[in-house]
Amino acid sequence: MRTTVGIIGAGPAGLLLARLLHNAGIDSVVLESRDRAYVEQRQRAGILEQGTVDVLRAAGAGGRMDREGLRHDGIELRFARERHRVDFPALTGGSSVMVYAQTEVCKDLVALQIEEGGPLLFQAEALAVEGAESERPRVRFRYEGREDVLECDYVVGCDGFWGVARRAIPAEHSHVFERTYPFGWLGIFADVPPSHDELVYARHDRGFALLSMRSPTVSRLYLQVPEGTDAASWADEEIWDELERRFETADGWSLERGAITSKSVTPMRSHVHEPMRHGRLFLAGDAAHIVPPTGAKGLNLAVGDVVTFARALAHLEETGSAERLDAYSETCLRRVWQAERFSYDMTTLLHRAPDATPFEDRVQLARLRRIVTSRAAGTDLAEGYTGFPLD
Ligand code: RFL
Ligand code: PHB
């Protein structure tokens, strides 16, 4: 098999890249180790930045998002039993975000790829990337019980944090920057209308809590829990009781309870692999970087990477200049580090570390108070949340 761009992984990064390349008249093949149902049902992100929304629309993948997604013009910060709204359009000159689940983005992109795009092979597991430093990199993969080789001009590793692409970069060229947090998120889905019409980020002495949603009838809620917590050790009523405590306000706001349909624990980590390119192998999305979910940045960063790659390759095809492709890693990393910084700020602003001192608690409250009383501080949060521009 032979193609211009071999794409490993059909998460949001790989699927969107295939679509962008198709629109630019560049052929690609997508190899995905799991089946279609898995890709379409894996529950993860929920918040699309303004720039991501714009990219999906321009790629012809925004129709259902515009009909079914929920536009959000702000979030609520809750602390000291008080409620404070951060108004995004007022602070950013018109930006907002969209609540539209990653599962739905993936369903839309899979459908488009199957109708209009190049080959998308499910249950095709990439085993290794070879010859990254040559003119003809190859992906060795297993499909329908046989080993095969995909010969490419370029390979893009969109295979997530646990994928194989990153491993093809020799250790002497790799620099990893990491941080793990001593807590995780217990996340639930519940069949109950969200108790607030915008997301609520709550800082509490017992730990962080987040109220989010997937639709007018489905709530998504998270609780900060100690690292290594087993989701099954929390009974449903205990989860609701704890959410109620952490969201409690002085003005009598109340949390609606409903049937919990799933619960799971997500660890929290930051991870950046530099550079994001080795020869003709490029890394995009979670394959190159992870952020803790507090800033809702992971999927949005993946989108930024693949837009940068697709534009750079189209530029090379049109003008013969490899300048943008050569700058891929540097261009992406500038935005990645802004998102890492923002996610770190949001995480340390809202979570209670197990060894937090009373002094640190007071500083955290002072940081929150500053955001809700200073237009400059509020603008900084609003700009970060609605997203950093693509170069
Ligand atoms: P993905 O989605 O992990 O997709 C990688 C794909 O590669 C496949 N694969 C392989 N295929 C072939 N051969 C191999 N050897 C392969 N190895 C792996 C996998 O099967 C998979 O299909 O990476 P991608 O595309 O880079 O997308 C990244 C996003 O999924 C991720 O950053 C976000 O979900 C993070 N995230 C959030 N991001 C946001 O922007 N907004 C949010 O609100 C948000 N909330 C979240 C989140 C992540 C969470 N978890 C579970 C980590 C909330 C949570 C709880
Ligand atoms: C979600 O709805 O899953 C979600 C929302 C905001 C975040 C993280 C996750 O910061």
Q: What domains does the chain contain, in order, with CATH numbers?
A: 5-74+100-177+269-346 (3.50.50.60), 183-268+354-386 (3.30.9.10)
CB-facing half-sphere around the CA of 180: CA atoms within 13 A: 8
In angstroms, rounded to a whole number, what is the distance separating the alpha carbons of residues 246 and 218?
A: 20
Tokens 């095809």 correspond to what residue? Answer: 317
Pocket of ligand 2 (CB under 6 A): 45-47, 199, 212, 220, 293-294, 296
Tokens matching residue 313: 């390759």
Cα 81 to chain center, whole Å? 30
Q: Is the CA virtual torsion 266, 267, 270, 274 positive or negative?
A: negative
The answer to whether 150 and 7 have CB atoms below 8 angstroms apart is no
pLDDT of residue 95: 95
Tokens matching residue 84: 């404070």
Tokens 């209308």 correspond to what residue? Answer: 193
Q: Whose CA is nearest to atom 1 of ligand 2?
A: 46
Q: Is the CB of 304 under 6 A from ligand 1?
A: no
Q: Could you report the per-residue pLDDT of 324-372, keeping only the tens digit for each?
A: 999 999 999 999 999 999 999 999 999 999 999 999 999 999 999 999 9
Give exposure, 221-255, as e/b (b: 16+ Cβ within 10 Å). Answer: bbbbbeeebebeebeeeebbebbebbbeeeeeeeb
Tokens matching residue 120: 């998308």
pLDDT of residue 391: 66
Which residues are tagged catalytic? 72, 201, 293, 297, 385
Peptide bond into 275 cis (omega under 30): yes
Q: Is the CB of 11 under 6 A from ligand 1?
A: yes
pLDDT (mean) for 42-48: 90
Give whole-number Cα distances, 325 to 306, 330, 337, in Å.
12, 10, 19
Q: Is the CA virtual torsion 347, 353, 358, 360 positive or negative?
A: negative
- Distance, CA 85 to ligand 1 centroid (Å)? 30
pLDDT of residue 44: 87
Q: Whose CA is nearest to atom 47 of ligand 1?
A: 45
Q: Could you report the per-residue pLDDT of 228-263, keeping only the tens digit for each?
A: 999 999 999 999 999 999 999 999 999 999 999 999
